[in-house]
Amino acid sequence: MSRPLVAKTILRGLLFGLPVVLLATVLVIYLGLPDVCTLKNCNPRTTALMLQRYREAQRGGRDFRLLQQWAADKKIPQLLKNTVRVCEDAGFYQHHGIDFTELKAAVRKNWEKRKYVRGASTITQQLAKNLYLSTEKSILRKIKEYLIARRLESCLDKKRIFNLYLNVIEFGPAIFGVQAAADYYFHKDISLLNLEEVVRLTAVIPRPLTESPVGNSRWLRWRAGWILDTLYRYHYISREQHQAVRQRFSQP
């Protein structure tokens, strides 16, 4: 058999075999997905991210005292829920786990900058990652995240997904959930948070290990200002509230 013919045969094999391998991989992943429907009535005691942070602390020789308190949906202020939603996933109630409009915008932005500068993970995807996966950046993890997110959306209603998310997201070393964060940083119940405290908590969600809600870094002040502008644009706060709290964040 001539070399060109051998090359064509190999190429045909690759073109036919690659889709089969990808399909088989997705099927294996799908069959190994967790039963998320148990979350309808049961709150998870631990999450994959909590266990990851525990192992990281062990390897670093650090103490790990988990702070996590469950807060029922009716106990969490509507302002906090609105703030987290519009800042982390404004289309939460419109999509089914994946926001394809935001995903396309993120891909375009990252391609233009030739680096990762914008994410597109929805609240459901973030919940899937926190509950069952890790912070590893890989295609395999994103596939799992996508499939688990779709399963969460099919088994649970939006209200339950959002409540789970608010109770397991990370707010600092070993601090998980909005109630534990309110207690640790502001020494108060979640229901008593004011606008500035709500903004501070929401601000650190993208950087829970490098930024503190009670800090005053340049990034935190910028993020807080953006959040306040967003809340005002969505008519969740008045002009007076916007200006008063924004002024407090303008001081270095």
- pLDDT tens-digit series, residues 183-235: 999 999 999 999 999 999 999 999 999 999 999 999 999 999 999 999 999 99
Confirm whether 63 is domain-assigned.
no
Confirm whether 39 is domain-assigned.
yes
Distance (Å, rounded) from C-alpha 20 to C-alpha 24? 6
Q: At what angle do helices 158-168 and 78-88 cross, to 10 degrees?
A: 90
Does residue 170 contact residue 56 with C-beta atoms inside 8 Å? no
Residue type, 97: G
Domain range enclosing 151: 33-58+68-249
> Residue 172, SS3?
strand
Tell me how many domains the chain contains.
1
pLDDT digits (tens, 9 = 90+) for 204-214: 999 999 999 99
Distance (Å, rounded) from C-alpha 199 to C-alpha 242? 11
**Residues whose CB is less than 8 angstroms from the CB of residue 161 and which lie 6 or more positions away in sequence, other chains included:** 123, 124, 127, 152, 153
CATH number for the domain that contains residue 114: 1.10.3810.10
Confirm whether 119 is domain-assigned.
yes
pLDDT digits (tens, 9 = 90+) for 14-29: 555 556 556 666 665 6
Distance (Å, rounded) from C-alpha 90 to C-alpha 102? 10
Confirm whether 179 is domain-assigned.
yes
pTM, two decimals, is 0.84
Measured in degrees and rounded to the nearest 5, phi and psi for residue 5 equal: -70, -40
Task: Name the β-bridge partners of 170.
Answer: 176
| Predicted local distance difference test score (pLDDT) of residue 184 | 97
Confirm whether 180 is domain-assigned.
yes
Confirm whether 27 is domain-assigned.
no
Confirm whether 212 is domain-assigned.
yes
Confirm whether 177 is domain-assigned.
yes
